[in-house]
Structures are given as structure tokens and as C-alpha cells.
Structure 1
Amino acid sequence: MFDLYLLRRRMTHRLTGKRTTKYAIITAALVLYPIMLAYGVETISRGSFADAWTWIASSPALFALNALLYAFLFLLVYCVFGSLLPSAGMSMAILFIAALITYFKTKLIGQPFYPWDIFLRKEGTNIIPIVTSRTVVIRVAVVAAIVAAVFLLRLLLPRFRLPVWSRIALGVLSIAALYGMAERSPMAQRLFDRAGVGEIVWNQQLNYGSNGFGIAFTLNIQNAVVSKPPGYSDASIATVAQQITDYRDRIPAKSADKQPNVIFIMNEAFWDPTLLPGVTFSEDPVPTVHRLQQDSTSGYLLSSQFGGGTSNVEFEVLTGNSMSFLPSGSVPYQQYIRQPVPSLASYFGSMGYKSMGIHSYDGWFWNRDTVYKWLGFESFKSKEYFTDPEINGAFISDDEVSRSIIQAVDESERPMFIYAITMQNHGPYDDNRYGVNDISVSGDLTPDARNILETYTQGARDADRSLQLLIDHFEQSDEPTMIVFYGDHLPMLGLDYDVYKQGGFISTGDSNQWTLDEMKSMHSVPFVTWSNFALPAEQIPILSDSFLGGYILDRLDLDLPANFAFGYNVSQQIPGLMSGLVVDSESNLSRTVPEAVQPLIDQYRDLQYDLLFGKRLLAGYVDADYLNQIERSDYNEEFKAPKDPAPVDESA
């Protein structure tokens, strides 16, 4: 009997010891592994162990807070999968992939990985051709090997499972903690304050660098929802309406004796490479643009984007709204437009025009095929509806887009508003896509930089020639026609703005150290106009994309609808407005809005909120029919007829 008692005691001690060891290992993993994850994430997102360690040494509390965030994420994954090492591998894979994305995005376009980037569907795959250099492949391979090693440890070590009730309890705890951090609950806010979290909304690259990837990403989750401005009310919109009425009373009555075709061409990444001071070209790559800069209304547009984000520029031009009032890195076409929004397309449509969008790429990209319906376009010709198109490089040629514009105008019995977007000169530019380039460049450039610049310049040359093709046609036309030609953003010429730096355009590849003049230069794209009827020429030093529509309507002597009228009025005092850079009417630069005009900018913000997210209060005062337009029932009927569009060979 006594021997049986001793045996039971020994077995109990052994089981208790194993259980104690198991929970000790689990506890250690939950404490130490998130610290390793935090260091790994910062190393990957910042690009080196040294940069990560410098930040950790200077901000230990912020590093600890990031590690705590990853601990709750790891715990949640563990509670879902129930096995320690697979959960560790899964957590690492999620975080390290996110860190890689932010590293590459920052290197390419100066923007980190945002929560809403998760919903970009196929758009995100466009980064793959850009990040295929040997250095990049090695970086990705090392990260993949580390993640794989963690998963393979499962073959050597036990599962370390938790009881079901423990998993449920800890899972609920981790969800509550993560939700509290994302929503910035009072407890989480106190924790943030003690750690020294300082959100830098206007400079997200600095925000991620200062707070660490995990915390900065979490802070932006709440920014995905656009909050009602503190001053937004019926009274504030009534004031906006009165300003619109006063503006209209001050200007002469508009003439309505002509309805010209109005053609906007947003040429992919179009910029003038001859602006690089340290580079010379064997011939002028953009003679048409340079001639129009001398003869017609022209100038520079202040683009909110660099190297990507085409649809955001499109959003600003078409709606008159400003990205400066929306969360950094957001994509309105993906996130916010879910109902009819007043735009140039709906305005021209209300005047009897046929409003048509043309884009030589997939209609689903940036959700255009759906958004164009909400913006009031009658039709949208995307890549699927080009028949046997000419391919130049990897994409449909700019000349093909020009021919599509000509065909659409010639076939229409009504005047046309066309918003055309090209694709030919989309990056990257290290692919020798054109074979032998017509124009050579010289300067203090590395061979790689010279190759990138010559390829880009060849595409810019083709874009310029496609504009001349349109001019040649409409010079012979008896239909009054105006063309507005511009780029959406500067091209991405190498990692860390390499070609711009080598070409002497900027002093450093670190955008956080740019002067205001350098920031303005890196966001200024040329625009030119042409018409086959008399219009006064004017030189525009700078104009935000959101003010372009109102400016063109005014030059055409067309009545400005309410939102464009207000934006045009704002542009008389602040012609350049983007996050982190403001240009006043005297060309003075500042990082924030001058105090004297802040009330006007606040009204502009209230107006934008009213039209995108609010109650459309403005329609109760002015332009009700235009502001309350409903979805077009005939949207894209001309392209809905059953047919098999010719496939496009993008490998040609």
C-alpha cells in the first residue's frame, strides 16, 4: 500500500514538473518572442540592424509598446491555431511581410504600408515587377528563410497546446487589447502617452520612423474613418453657400454661345526630364509641350502624389476635392466613393455633353469601372474594349489612346467631355522596354541611372508625340475643342529618388530632409493646354490638381458649379494645397496653412465632408439638381453589348 502511495506521488510530481516546464516555455515565448519580432520588424522596415538598434536605443518605451502590440497579436494567433510554433511562424510571416511592404513602398514612393492598402486587391501586385533586382530578391529570400525555419522547428519540438478554455479566455483578452489600441481607448491612450507616442499625421514616413511600424500602423486604423470636422454644421455650410453666391455675383455673366469638346489627358507619370540640371539630352524629348508652354495657357500642377497613386490625382481633378483633408495614403476610389459624387463628368453631362472616360488598362484597377458610374460618366472605355490595340513597350501605346479620343469625338453627335488616362510610360524604367532609345542622355550618372532615365525619356517623347497627333487632327476639325494635357505625378526613377539625386534635382534621397522648394519641385508636374479657338494665354506658377477643373471652366466662360466655384475662389489665395506644403498667391511656401486663410480652408474642408460623407446640406442652398444627381441608368451601355474583346498581349 505504501509503495503504491509513493508511486502515485512520483507520477504526480513528474506530471506536475512537465506541466510546469510546458507553461514556463509558453510564458517565456509570449514574453521574449514579441521582443524578437519587434526587432525583426524594425530591421526589415528600416533596412538595417543598425538603424533599428539606433531607434530602439533612443526610444526604448516605444519599442516596448510595439513589442506589447505584437505579443497580443501572437497570443491571438496562438489561441486560434492552438499550437505554439506554427503560431509563431504565422505571426512572423504576417509582420515580416508587412515590414517588407513598408520598406519597398518607402523606397519607391516615400509612403509606408497603411491599413487600407490591404484592400487594394490586384493593385498591390503592380509592385512585383519593380522589386526584382538582385539585392531585393536576396532581402526577400532571407526573410522567407527565417520564417520557414520557425515553421520547421515544429518537427523538432512539441506542440505546446493550451487547454480550450485557456485559449478562449486569452483570445478574448488579446482581441480586447488589440481593439483598444486600434480605437485608442482611455487605457490605451494612457499607455501611448506614457510611452511617448506622438502621431505625425502630415508626414507618415516620419510617423512610422518615430513610433515604430506596429504603433504607427495601428494609429492609422482609426484614421481610415474620416471624422466629422469640428466646425461642420448647417450653419457652416450656409456660410459656404453664401460665399459661393457672393462669388457668382462678383463675376460677369458667362457666355453660353459655344459648347466645345473638352479633353483632359492625364498622361502616366509625365514630367519634363530636361528639368534635371545635371543632365543633357541629345535632342529635345518634349518639343510639343515646350512649344505650348510658350504659346498657350500652361504652368505646373501641384500633385499630392509621387511615383504612384494615379487615381488620387484623378479624384482631385474630377471632383475638385483635396487629398489634404483625407488620411495620408488613403485611396478615395477604394475607400470612400459608394454613392453619386458631383464631378466634372456629371456637370458636363447635365449640360448635354457625353462624358466619357478612357483608360488603356484594366477597368477594375483602382475600382474605376464602378467609381466612374458614381462620378456621372456615361461610358468608360477601359483596356477590355480596345480592339487590336498598338502596344508600345509593355502597355497600350499613348498614340492608341489619342486615336481612341479622336474616334470617340468623331462618332459623337454631342459635344464631349473626355477624361483620358494613359499607361504606356508606367514604371519601372529599368526594363529596356523600347529596345534602342532615340534620345541619349549624358551627365554624371551611373550606368543604371542612365538606363532608367533614357527609357523614361523615350516614353515621355512618345507621350509628347501623341499630344501632337491630337493637335494635328483637331486643327483640321470645325468642332471647337480644348485639350488639357498633364501628368499625374513625377516618375519613380530608381530607389531613394536615385536619378533625381544624381541629376542634381534634389540634394538628398531622404524626403524628410527636403527643403520646401525641393518638396514643391518633387510634386510639380507640367500642364499645357491647346484649343482650336481663341483663348487668352496665361502662365500659372502653381495650381493644385483639385483647382484645375474650376480654372478650366472659368477659362471656357462656363458657369462653375458650386463646389468648383468655391475651390476656384480658394485658389485665388492658396493656389497650392497639399499635406505638408502650402503655396500662397505670392508663391510663398509653408508647411501649414497661414493663420489668415485658415478659416477659408476650414470651409473648404467642411464643403468636402458635406459632399463625400455628410448630408449634402449645400444642396439645400445652391445647385440642388447638380449636387443631388443620381446614378446613371445608362452607364456604359455602348460597351455592354455582348462581344469578345480582343486580348492584349502585354508581353509584346
Structure 2
Amino acid sequence: MKGLYVLKEKRIYKRELPLWGSLLAAVLLAGCITLLALWCQPNALRTVLAGFKTQPLLIVLNALPIGLLLLAFAFLFRNVFYSGALVNFFVCALSLANRVKIEVRDEPVFPRDFSLLREVGSAIQSYDIRYPVKAIAVVVLTTALLIGLGVLFPSRPVSFAALKAKLTKRDTVAVFPGRCWPERIVGAVLSFGVLTALIFSVYASNDLYNSFRVSNAYYVPSVFNELGFPYCFCHQFTTYPVDKPEGFSKSEAAGWETGGQTGLGKDVSVILVMNEAFSDLTDQTMFNWTEETDPLPNLHALQKDPHTLSGHIVVPGFAGGTANTEFDALTGMQTNALSVTATSAMRVVNRNLDSLFRVFGADGYHTSFYHPGDAWFYNRENVYRWLGAEHEVFAKDMKDLEYKGRWVTDDYMAGLIEEEFETAVSEGRPLFNYTTTIQNHMSYTADKYGEGHTFAPVSTTADISPETRSMLEVYTEGVRDADAMLGRLTAYFSDREEPVVLVFYGDHLPYLGDNQKGYAELGSEVSIPENEREDILCSYKTPYVLWANDAAADTLNWNEAVAALDLPEDGVLSAAFLGSVLLDLTGRAGESPWFDFLSSLRRIAPVVQKKTYILADGSVLPQRILNEQTDEASMELKAAVRKWRCWSYYKLKYADVG
């Protein structure tokens, strides 16, 4: 019997790979699967490998997660080729999906896309997709080949008992390993554990990620192509986080979505212009202007107009984060509240969301978004579709672009807005347009508008360096052009018989050198720690004007409508509350449960910024003090803010918006 058993044993395992053979096969397979996954990317493999040759660490970073996955499943299956077949199919399928998504939507595949499988199914039907048939066939055939090799060459199992026998020179037949489940589970768990640890340490490192040379660090699809899909995909596990609020209940949040009725508002066209780095920094006392040299004459005149609301909005960031301000103003959510770590609001959006576009669109408005930049930047091309914009226009869609230096001019954008308004009028529809300009984008260097361009001098009481003076002169010229855009639009709409409301504001304060160099030299409190300032939020404030032409003022019954808004005396609001003000002003209270809630919240605390609240009476309330208070008003504020955070999370993750 023993002889038969041995014969049977030899017959079953005659093609077994020894341990060293399995390890060698695993290394070779990891390399081959990595190459195949890179070949499946949209760009040529030779281009990728040429970049890897100058940055060899990328080879390891792309192959390592594939190798660890292969090792984990090799332990479970007790077969390195079966493991290779599974990992090859999974990794290459993701790489192919990444290729298709980039080609269709100019956006790569992210780990968070796994939570959107239902949306993916419906989205596929909305696009004319050209599937890479050749690449798909290669992946399928390679997977089948690996399965065949797994049948012919099973691996010798790792056995603790066999290893012990070898060390003690015992008879190995007596310790035949059988299925070896403990060893297989331990090996798989260790492999997955190492991979997980690497994803949340090495692959999570922004410093490492940003250290690699790429042709355009802001164009995410290009970064994926150049650094390799496996590495970039692993890096994205820890980027653009959205934290689940404490006490969140999906069913509770779903109940808040009910209600709302369309068609309640007044048919006035609404134009929002978010002007790049627009601020009233030049109004501060350290600047010396005459009536003739004032860079903001139109803003100042409009602030005195009886049909104007003016003040400051508190934006998410300082000296950057344009798209985050767009997100806050249009959705009523807050970028800074999405996660305890920094995130990009536009990058967390991957589904239809409530926004001002949807509210006005439901009332029959022609809705559009204009931006004279690249459609891929901040993923705007996709995000504005999810926000419900009927019409998106980027630089690639604009004709006869007019530049000042390397940026499209504000004056050109004013002309496009006028043309868009004429189109809406010809259609017999009111217009809702959101325009983000770009001309006054940093950097504010002397060559911004071309060699030899001269700038008007800036006079200050502060003793500033030549570098800071140059930055201020360049920046102030952009401010003058922005103010001229405001003047052009108000003059144009003043002459129109159709009712129009214009909202004009800045996205953030300008960048004036590292460590707030320019602000420090000016003596601005922007440069000192927040807890030492008189105005704790001064670094986040940009001016806004909300103006109605005569026809709109009559249509809205301006004075009564404004009084009903209950705005604070200083007109300071969080950017996230600007939309609710606009909807209330145009008679749309009752159309959106979400924006109605924001209207009630801003009446309690017009400003909510990170861990600081400004209440309706103007008092400043830090979060640490609010946490300790138990009076009725404080409890009401805490409950409202909790609802805001939970509702925002629900909308981003679960809400079904048509």
C-alpha cells in the first residue's frame, strides 16, 4: 500500500514547481503583468518606459503592488499561475477601464469609482465608446494562457511542518502537508497586510508623488500616463478624502430631501462672475490713491447704488483654490468641511449634485458655465455636467480669443456673457450663467503681460521692496481690468429692458510671495497669526456686489426682497451661503429643501469657517467654546451644523439627483 501511495504521490505532483521555482515565476509574472498593464494605457509603452529609464523608482512602484497581489493569491490558490491569471485580469481590466475613461471623459479611474458601479452602468449607455478590442483580446488570451500553465504546473505548497522536518531531518513523507490552510491564510494575510501598509505610507506620500517629473502636474490623466497607472491608482487611495460625519444616518438624511416646488421664482436673468483673485486689497489704508488713480471706481460706485447688496464672502482658501470657491458657492456645501485633511472639492464630485444650475434649470432657465481655461483643469468638464449646467464653454470652444500676455482678457469674457444673454433672449428664456475668469491669475511678475509692458505706479505709505512693488503693480493692473469688466457689464445691463441680476466677486486673495512676503511688507494683518488679528478671517475675505438693473429691481420688489433676507449689517457671508441669498432674493424660497435649510442656517451664523463661527449679531464664536456651551441657541447651532455636514455627505455619496 505504501508503494502505491508513493506512486500516486509522484503521479499527482510530477509537474510541481519547487518553492524557488514558484518565487521566480512570481517575480517574472509581476514584471510581465506590469508591462501589460502599462501597454493598456492610452499612451505608447515605449514613451512610458523612456520616462521610467530616467526615474527608475517608478518601475518598483508600479510592479510592487502587482507582485504583492500575486503573492497573496498564490498562497491562497497554492498555484502561482492561477494567481497570475486573476491578478492579470483584474489589473489589466482596471488599466483598460482607465484608458476608456480617459478617452471618453478625460478623467482616469480612481479607487472611489468602485462605489459608483451603478452610475458606471448607466453612463456607458450615454457615450459613444470605442473599446480597445485588440488590447482586450490580448488580456483575455494572456489570462487563459496563465490558467493553462496553472493546470500543468501546480506549485509545491509551503508547509510549516515540512520546513520543520527539513530542519530536524525527519522523514518528509510522514509530514505530507496536505492542503496547508494555516500556511496559505497566513501567507495571504501577510502579503495583503504589507500592500495595505505601503498604500497608506509610501504610496500615500504627496512628497514622493510630486517629486517625479511630469509634463503637466495639473493634468491628472497625463500624470497617470507618465507615472504609470498601477502607481497612480494606489496613490489615489488616500487622496481627495470625504470624511463620514459622526452620527451620520443615511435614512435620516434621505428624509431631508423631500419637498420643494418648481416655478415659484421671478423670471430674472442671473449672471454670476467669479473674477480671478479679485479683491479690494488696494482699499487698505497703506495705499495712496487719487480719484483719477483709484483702481476700483466701478466697484465703489456700485456699492453706493440703491439696487446693490455688497459685502465680503469668506472663501475656502488663501491665495489659491479657485475651484473650491466655485464648489462652495454653487452647491452650498463647504470644501473645508469635507475632510480633516486638505482635499479638492471638484475631485470628490463623481455624481449628480444639487446646485444653483439645477434650481434655475428646473424653472426653465438657459443655464451655462464659461471659463477661458482648459476643460480638464479641476475636472470641470465633468463636474459642471454633474452640477446640471446645460451648456459648458471652455477656451477650446471659444472663437477669436483675446489675450493680454498669456491669459484671456476679462473684457473678452464680458463680451461672451453679453452674447450668451442675447442668445437666451432670442430663445425666450431667462439666463443663468456662471463665469470664472482667468486674466488676473498669478504669478504677478513683470513679464506677465509681455516684455516691455509698463504698469501704473503703486504708491504706499509702507516701505516695500522693489520685488513687492512690482508684484503689486502687476496685480493692480489686473484689478483695474476686472473693475472695467464690472463697469462694462453693469452699463450693458442697465440699458436692457429685461430684468437682470449681476453678482460679481473674487475667488481668493492674491498670492504676494512666499510666507505672505508682500502682505508683511504692507503691514497687513493677513501676514500675522489668526489669533493675533483684529479680523480673524481677513485672509479669506473677498468683496462681492449683487446688483439688479431697474427692470429686475421692479420685478423683485427690491426693498422688500432685500429686507426679507435678514443679512448681517456688514454683509459678510460664507461663500456657501451666497446661493441661498440669491434664491431667496429671486423668490425661490420653497423650491429646494437644501437651499431653504441653508437660508435658515445663515440666519443663525452667516459665517462658518473651519473652527470659527460669526453669529447674526456679529459676535465671533470659536468651535472650542461652542463645544462647551449648552444654552438653547448654542444647541440649535450645533444641531444645524451637524445636519449640514451629514446632508452634504449624503448628497456626495448617495443622493439620487436626476
- Residues 245-289 of structure 1: CA distance to partner in whole angstroms, max 9, x if unpaired? 8xx9xxxx9964x41110000000100122433232352111111
| Superposition map of 1:435-446 within 5 A | 435-443=453-461, 444-446=463-465
Deviation at 1:183, TM superposition (A): 5.9
After superposition, give the CA deviation of every residue in 1:108-134 in whole Å (9 maximum; x if it has no partner).
xxxxxxxxx999xxxxxxxxxxxxxxx
Q: CA deviation at 1:514?
A: 4.8
Matched, 1:523 2:540: yes
CA distance in 1, matches of 2:288, 2:187: 64
Aligned to 2:420: 408
Partner of 1:606: 646
Unmatched segments (≥5 aa) in structure 2: 1-56, 66-107, 111-157, 159-185, 202-233, 628-633
Q: Counterpart of 2:488 in 1: which secondary structure?
A: helix
- Shift, 1:454, TM fit: 1.1
2:444 corresponding residue in structure 1: 429
Residues 385 and 373 from structure 1, CA distance in 2 versus in 1: closer, same or farther, beyond 3 angstroms? same
Residue number in structure 2 paired with 1:270: 278
CA 1:427–1:224: 2 relative to 1, 3 Å: closer
Pick aligned residue for 1:573 from 567, 583, 604: 604
**Secondary structure class of the residue paired with 2:456:** coil
Give yes or no for contact 1:304–1:523 (8 Å, CA) kept in 2: yes
Aligned to 1:564: 595
Task: Report the CA distance shift for 1:450/1:592 in structure 2 as closer, same or farther (over 3 A).
Answer: same
Indicate the residue corresponding to 1:299 in structure 2. Answer: 311
Distance 1:365 1:583, change over 3 A: same
Counterpart residue type for residue 458 of structure 1: E
Contact 1:277–1:505 at 8 Å: present in 2 too? no
Tell whether 2:381 aligns with 1:369.
yes
State the Cα distance separating 1:481 from its structure 2 match. Answer: 0.5
Name the counterpart of 1:27: none
Query: Structure 1 residues 363 and 219, CA, compared in 2 at 3 Å: closer, same or farther?
Result: closer
Q: What is aligned with 1:353?
A: 365
Match of 1:420 in 2: 435
Q: What residue number does 1:450 align with?
A: 469
CA contact under 8 A between 2:239 and 2:343: conserved in structure 1? Answer: no
Q: For residues 79 and 555 of structure 1, do their structure 2 counterparts lie closer, same or farther at Cα, with a shift above 3 Å needed?
A: closer
**Is the contact between residue 311 and residue 572 of structure 2 (CA under 8 Å) also seen in structure 1?**
yes
Amino acid across the alignment from 2:325: V
Letter in 1 for 2:574: S
Residue identity opposite 2:596 in structure 1: A
Query: What SS is found at the alignment partner of 2:460?
Result: strand
TM-score, normalised by the number of residues in structure 1: 0.59
> Residue 470 of structure 1 is aligned with which of 484, 489, 492?
489
- Seen in structure 2, the aligned counterparts of structure 1 residues 589 and 170 have a Cα distance that, compared at 3 Å, is farther
Aligned to 2:27: none
Determine whether 1:545 maps to 2:553: no
For residue 379 of structure 1, what is the aligned residue in structure 2? 391
Whole-Å Cα distance in 2 between the matches of residues 397 and 182 of structure 1?
43
Instruction: Return the offset for 1:174.
Output: 8.8
8 Å contact kept, 2:372–2:437: yes
Please list, as runs of the form range in 1=range in 2, the aligned pairs for 1:493-512 lying within 5 A after superposition. 493-506=512-525, 508=527, 511=529
SS of aligned partner of 2:369? strand
Counterpart check, 1:331 vs 2:349: no
Q: What's the TM-score once normalised by structure 2's chain length?
A: 0.58
Partner SS for 2:304: helix
Q: Equivalents in 2 of 1:180, 1:490: separation in Å?
A: 39
- Which stretch of the first structure deviates more once superposed, 364-373 or 419-428? 364-373
8 Å contact 2:403–2:409 — kept in the other structure?
yes
Q: Answer whether contact 1:273 1:457 (CA < 8 A) is retained.
A: no
The aligned residue for residue 410 of structure 2 is 398
Contact in 2 for aligned 1:574/1:585 (Cα 8 Å): yes
1:60-91 C-alpha deviation (Å, 9 max, x unpaired): xxxxxxxxxxxxx999769969xxxxxxxxxx
Alignment partners' CA distance in 2, 1:75 and 1:398 = 45
**Gaps spanning 5+ residues in structure 1: where?**
1-72, 82-116, 120-164, 185-217, 617-626, 630-652
Compare CA radii of gyration and give the structure with the larger one.
2
Are the equivalent residues in 2 in contact too, given 1:277–1:503 (CA < 8 A)?
Answer: no
Q: Compute the displacement of 1:472 (Å).
A: 1.1
Is residue 263–residue 419 contact of structure 1 (8 Å, CA) maintained in 2?
A: yes
User: C-alpha separation between the residues in 2 aligned to 1:219 and 1:411?
Assistant: 45
Alpha-carbon distance between aligned partners in 2 of 1:459 and 1:507, rounded to the nearest angstrom: 21
Measured against aligned partners, the alpha-carbon deviations of 1:507-551 in whole angstroms (never above 9, x if no partner) come to: 746x5x653645411101100022113223675431011110000
Secondary structure of 2:471's partner?
helix
Counterpart AA for 1:312: N
Task: Give the drift of 1:324.
Answer: 3.0
1:233 to 228, 239, 249: 249
Does the aligned pair in 1 maintain the 2:250–2:650 contact within 8 Å?
no
The Cα shift of 1:490 comes to 0.6
Q: Which residue of 2 aligns with 1:179?
A: 196
| Cα deviation 1:174-208 (Å, max 9, x = unaligned) | 97357248669xxxxxxxxxxxxxxxxxxxxxxxx
Q: 1:572/1:75 Cα in 2 relative to 1: closer, same or farther (>3 Å)?
A: same
Q: 2:334 aligns with which of 322, 329, 340?
A: 322
SS in 2 for 1:356: strand
| CA deviation profile, 1:203-248 (whole Å, cap 9, x unmatched) | xxxxxxxxxxxxxxx9997584424323222563377469x88xx9
Whole-Å separation in 2 of the counterparts to 1:170 and 1:76: 21
Structure 1 window deviating more from structure 2 (589-598 vs 381-390): it is: 589-598
- What SS does the aligned partner of 1:279 have? coil
Shift of 1:170: 12
Q: Is the 8 A contact 2:336 2:342 kept in 1?
A: no
The 1:432–1:172 alpha-carbon spacing in structure 2 relative to 1, beyond 3 Å, is farther
Matched position secondary structure for 1:530: strand
**Which secondary structure state, in structure 1, belongs to the residue aligned with residue 601 of structure 2?**
helix
The separation in 2 between residues aligned to 1:361 and 1:78, in whole angstroms, is: 32
The code of the aligned residue for 2:366 comes to K
Is the 8 Å Cα contact of residues 526 and 539 (structure 2) preserved in structure 1?
no
C-alpha separation between the residues in 1 aligned to 2:469 and 2:287?
Answer: 10
Q: CA RMSD in A?
A: 3.6
Counterparts in 2 of 1:235-274, with a 5 A limit?
236-237=252-253, 240=256, 256=265, 258-274=266-282
Q: Separation in 1 of the partners of 2:191 and 2:301?
A: 63
The count of aligned residue pairs is: 420
Q: Deviations over 1:453-502 (max 9, x none)?
A: 11101100100001111111111111111100000011111111111111
Is 1:284–2:284 an aligned residue pair? no
Distance 2:399 2:594 in 1: 38
CA contact (8 A) 2:375 2:394 kept: yes
**Hey, what does 1:138 align to over in structure 2?**
none
**Deviation of 1:316 (Å):** 0.8
